Structure formats: structure tokens, C-alpha cells
Amino acid sequence: MGSASNKKHLGLADVVAGESAICTVGKAGKGLNYRGYAIEDLATQCGFEEVAYLLIHNRLPNQQDLTAYCNKLKSLRDIPSALKTVLETIPASAHPMDVLRTAYSLLGCLEPETDFSQQTEIADRLLASTPSILMYWYRYHKHGKRINTNTSDHTIASHLLHLLRDTTPDSLHQQAMNASLILYAEHEFNASTFAARVAASTLSDFYSAAVAAISTLRGPLHGGANEAAMQLIQRYPSDNDVEPGLKQALANKEKIMGFGHRVYKIADPRSPIIKQWAKQLVNTPDDRRIFTVSEHIEAYMWQKKKLFPNLDFYSASAYYFMSIPVSLYTPLFVCSRITGWAAHIIEQRNNNALIRPAANYTGPDQQCFIPIEQRT
């Protein structure tokens, strides 16, 4: 019973699944706005905390609002001792996304949502504590150290990098991480956000909806593209190796991660911003090699396939230049996207209807039931 129409909407492509006032993606084939503000303005003129406030609290803060909000987030960074014990128990071999999924579930038991009036408080709590959760587990298992997750850093970007390195990061790295967090914060009805809204539509608790989002981002077709992009870039020792390597990869029908996009048709507006940060972060001969290889990959993919780099491609080298372990690339996505997920959970609850789509049945027509003793 399949049809051309059904195939057109495979994976719900181009299907309008709801209304939202949070974000527009792909306007004119390349635009991105958070609550009406262009990503170019937000990523170059705002701190991540301003954007988080915009998404979760529905307006840009004034200076007094922002100061109070940053102080509030600082007060919410530390994590309970019971959660630290569980993070120490989780194996070092665990996928970091599984760590975050488990930690969110446990935090939901330790600090449960008993009324929906708590939702913005929980959103802020998860925003503030996610870097602490991730880095506590990572530093304990990789370096054998129980870190203090209650740093005095003023921003989430600085706090995150401080916990990773056990030292205050330099200004350039803080600014680059700030921009990255803004760029990854929100992206309309992507797979993880839609999963969060489906869970929220059942009137489940906030943590469960966030866990649904993490579980969806865990899949390699949604999260992990920046990790895969770094693995691609590291294949090529020099820019001279790019063309023959990519030519062979395309002949083998390999998916080249970090290029093209489901919604954008002309360009990803986030890519030039993170590319500029990656360029500024170049510091060593190896950094220069990685950036040159990246540019050659970008040029070849456009020349041969007319595919543009998406946010994930140059995010990979930007993170690499900041000495962030590749295994943490996708979990850092969560540190940012929890803002967008929270905004959508809140919006879904404010005008809720159970999300229960229909399916086009493609199985057999009704059949005669055969008793078991008569079946061959």
C-alpha cells in the first residue's frame, strides 16, 4: 500500500507536526532565528546565558536580569553526593551519552518534579549542572580525581572548560566555547526535540522528556556527526591526500559526515561562524594542518556534490584545537541543547495535545485466522 506520496514524507520529511514560537530553521534555504533573533546576531553579540534566558524565559534579559540569572546558574552547578557516587560507579567504558541519560534519571529521583510550576527551575538546574555531571564522571574515570563541581567561573563556557582542564581557560577558548553553545542551543523540531515534545505531551515529568531527548541524540543519525567529522579529517595526513581519499570514499558510497542538511538547502548559517572561530583557534603546526585539510574537504565536497558544511564539520576542528576529547563532542551538544529542549517542553505543556500521529498501513489485508493445530 506504499505510494509516491508516502515515500516523499519518509521520516516525516516536510510534514508539519505542530506549531512553535521558538525557532525558525531554513527560511530562504539558509536562515536560523531563535524567537525572532538572527543566529548571526546572537552568536556574535551575546553570551550563552543570554540566549538560554531567551529560550527558556521567552525574552532577552536586561543587564539586571542577566546578572541575577548568571548568579542563579552558578548556585545550581554543584551536584548531589548520591549522584557523584553513581557517576563513580558507572564504568569508564560507558558511552558519555549513556552517562548523561542515567544522571538525568537519577536527578529526577533525587529532585523530582512534583508540579509543573517547577519546570523553569528544573530547566535552569539541568542547564547549570549538565557540565558538572559530564566532567565529574570524565575526570573521575580518566584521571582518578573527584573534582569540585562548584567553580567560581562566571559563565557556563568557562565552567565547562575549567572542569575539563582543572585550570581557568584562556579568554579565546571561553569565547569560542560560548559561541559553540549558542550555535547548538536550538534547532526547531529535530529528532531529539520532537522526542522530548512527544514525551511531554503525555504529561510526563520534565526529566523524562529530557531523557527521551538524550536517548534520541544518542543515535548516530542525529548526534555524533561532529565526532565522525573529526575522524574523517584525521584520515588525511595532508591536503594532498584529500582529493584521492574523498574520491574513493564517494565511490564506495560512504556518507561524508558534516555536510548537507535535512532542512537547509543553500547553506547552514551556523557554519561560517564556527569556521571563523576554528580559524582563530589555530595555534600549532598540527592545528594548521587540520584546518587546511578541513578547507580542502569543504572545497571538494562543494565542487563534486554541491554539499555545504553544516555546523558539525568545523565544530569538530574547533573542539580539537581546544584539546577537547572527541568522545565528549556529542555530550557537549547536550550542555547546549538542554536550553532548546527545555523551551519546547515548556511550550508543549502550555498548549498541550497528545502527539499521536497516524500511520499508513502497508501489511496484508485481513486474513482468516487458522487454529494452531491446523497450521503447517
How confident is the model over 325-366, as pLDDT tens digits? 999 999 999 999 999 999 999 999 999 999 998 888 999 999
Residues 45 and 194 in one domain: yes
pLDDT of 7 strictly over 90: no
> Mean pLDDT, to the nearest integer, of 172-176?
98
69 and 201 both lie in a single domain = yes
Does 261 participate in catalysis according to the annotation? yes
| Domain termination site, one of 282, 301, 321 | 321
Decide if 50 contacts 178 (C-beta within 8 A).
Answer: no
Total number of domains constituting the chain: 2
For 81, 160, 162, the CA distances from 149, given in Å and listed in that order, are 11, 9, 10
CATH number at residue 302: 1.10.230.10
* Domain extent for 115: 20-219+328-350
Residue 2 has pLDDT above 50, yes or no: no
Q: What is each CA distance from 69 to 64, 125, 159, in whole angstroms?
A: 9, 12, 15
149 φ/ψ angles, rounded to the nearest 5 degrees: -90, 5
Residue 1 in any domain: the answer is no
Within-domain flag for 294: yes
Mean pLDDT of 151-170: 94
Residues 6+ apart with CB under 8 A from 168: 153, 158, 162
Please say whether the dihedral angle defined by the alpha carbons of residues 131, 137, 138 and 144, taken in this order, is positive or negative.
Answer: positive
| 254 in the same domain as 130 | no
Check 57, 98, 222, 287 and give the catalytic one. 222
Does the annotation mark 95 as catalytic? no
- 110, part of any domain: yes
Amino acid making up residue 198:
V
* Confidence class for position 220, pLDDT limits 50, 70, 90: confident
141 and 271, same domain (yes or no): no
User: Same structural domain for residues 143 and 233?
Assistant: no
- Residue-wise DSSP of 13-67: TT------SSEEEEETTTEEEETTEEHHHHHHH--HHHHHHHHHHSS---HHHHH
Percent over 90 (pLDDT), the chain: 88
**CA distances to 30, 100, 120, 334 from 87, in Å:** 40, 9, 25, 17
344 given a catalytic annotation: no
- Indicate whether 1 pLDDT > 90: no
Q: Is 143's pLDDT higher than 70?
A: yes
Q: Is residue 25 domain-shared with residue 129, that is, in the same domain?
A: yes
Q: Is the pLDDT of residue 4 over 70?
A: no
Q: What is the pLDDT of residue 3?
A: 43
Mean pLDDT rounded to a whole number for the chain: 94
The answer to whether residue 108 is domain-embedded is yes
User: pLDDT per residue over 17-56, tens digit each?
Assistant: 689 999 999 877 778 999 999 999 999 999 999 999 999 9
Whether residue 366 lies inside any domain: the answer is no
119 in the same domain as 69: yes
Cell matching residue 368 = 482468516
* Active-site pick, 261, 268, 296, 344: 261
Rg (CA), the chain: 22
Please indicate, yes or no, if residue 356 is contained in any of the structural domains: no
Mark whether 65 and 192 lie in a shared domain: yes
Q: Is residue 192 part of a domain?
A: yes
In a shared domain, residues 287 and 141: no
Which residue among the candidates 153, 205, 268, 312 is catalytic per the annotation? 312
pLDDT tens track for 299-311: 999 999 999 999 9
The strand pairing partners of 38, in sequence order, are: 33
Which tens digits make up the pLDDT trace of 234-267? 999 999 999 999 999 999 999 999 998 888 989 9
Q: Are residues 92 and 214 in the same domain?
A: yes
- Categorise residue 234: left if φ over 0, alpha if ψ from -120 to 50, beta otherwise: alpha
Whether 48 and 185 have beta carbons less than 8 Å apart is answered as yes
Residues 307 and 332 in one domain: no
